[in-house]
Amino acid sequence: MSGFIKRLKGAKLLLPPLAGYTDYPYRRILSEFDPPFLCTEMINPEAFVMESQRTMEMVKMVEGNHLNGVQLVGSDEESMRKAAAMVESMGYDYIDINMGCTVKTITRTGAGLTLMTDMNRAVSVVSAVVGTVDIPITCKMRMGPTEANKNAASLSRKLVDEGVSAITVHGRTGEKKFGLDVSLEGIKEVVDGVDVPVIANGGVYTGEDAVNFLEATGADAIMPGRGLIGNPWLVNEIKSSLNDTNTLNIALVERKEVTLRHLRYLCDFYGERTGVILMRRLLGKYFSGCRNVSLLKIDSQKTGTINDVETLVERVKDVTGMEYSRN
């Protein structure tokens, strides 16, 4: 059993590649919560091979006790092969191939979800990557491109035959958006059909969700998604729930400290102006459940400096529960 599989089965938790969110600064934050794995946001293989500045920033590795992965989103065997070789040479521990992204700029190139509509192409891409590197390859897919074409189970079997080490299944089809029901039965069908670990994904916002998903599907591990945005504490909550231990409440002072540390990491990496702009959309997430959080979101759009953001964070008080006040 490889070290990757052993850790996956032991931890039962794989952190997600979240486009626009799991950049280097946020992976630094997540690493402080002792996750078993960290993965980059999706990487265009052509831009990676060209070593574009933006892409090289996206693949900067976060050191720690975790295993590091890169998610590649492409459909051309040659560029995927070259990119995979570069990932391995950088010291990354595994590669994930995106077969679930529904964004049109991705799908119209034949990548992301489009690979599920062309299983021969998907198999060719995976075969090219598996044959190029020695590190584990995983694939992240949906139940299928559409409700009428739920082919995750059949595609997974083909990919496993090509040497894929694990499969992540998002329990919705391509035309379904966030918030709709996840097909636990569909994920279970994939689990029952392959002899490699399957990771269940979609709609996991709490530790209880994680436990329920694993029990219902028989999956080997869980992958949270958007619930992790501005909530790195979800890592500990899921780990505690899987180990049947209690999760402590998050003190407001800790929430503020992590938020401001994330801000500093962003500004150190991108510069103050860009870092603050990126932090605007995260403040409401970090203080989700806060009274008057809508005002906090509005005020965050006016921030331009680190001091501006610090002022807003200071206005969150623990009065009668977490509350934001403009006074």
Q: Which of 101, 139, 267, 290 is catalytic?
A: 101
Dihedral sign from CA coordinates of 154, 5, 18, 274 = negative
- Rounded to whole angstroms, how far apart are CA atoms 68 and 198? 18
pLDDT score of 180: 65
**The pLDDT value given to residue 274:** 97
Structural domains present in the chain: 3-242 (3.20.20.70), 252-324 (1.10.1200.80)
Report the relative pairing of strands 316-318 and 322-324 from DSSP bridges: antiparallel
Nearest-5° Cα angle at 241, 235 to 242:
90
- Judging by DSSP bridges, how do beta strands 316-318 and 221-223 pair with one another? unpaired
Distances (CA, A) of 3 to 11, 39, 63, 255: 12, 17, 18, 34
257-294 per-position pLDDT tens digit:
999 999 999 999 999 999 999 999 999 999 999 999 99
Give catalytic status of residue 101 as yes or no.
yes
Write down the pLDDT at residue 179: 56
Q: Identify the segments of the chain with pLDDT beneath 70.
A: 1, 176-180
Residue found by looking up tokens 């329920």 in the block: 212
Tell which residue, 234, 168, 218, 172, has the closest CA to residue 17: 168
d(CA 13, CA 213): 12
Rounded Cα distance between 242 and 12, Å, is: 8
pLDDT (tens digit, 9 = 90+) per residue, 232-245?
999 999 999 999 88
Token pair in block for residue 243: 């180990």
Terminal CA-to-CA distance of the chain, rounded, Å?
58
- Phi, psi dihedral angles at 322 (to 5 degrees): -60, 130
Strand partners, 99: 141
pLDDT of 36 reads 97
State the Cα–Cα distance between residues 108 and 117, nearest whole angstrom: 12
Q: Given this model, what pLDDT does residue 1 score?
A: 63
Give how far Cα 77 sits from Cα of 121, 128, 157, 158, Å: 9, 6, 20, 17
Angle at 144 between CA 140 and CA 146, to 5 degrees: 140
Angle, CA 211 vertex, CA 3 and CA 257 arms, to 5°: 80
Instruction: Give the HSE-up count for residue 68: Cα atoms under 13 Å, Cβ half-sphere.
Output: 21
Provide the pLDDT for residue 178: 57
pTM for the full predicted model: 0.95
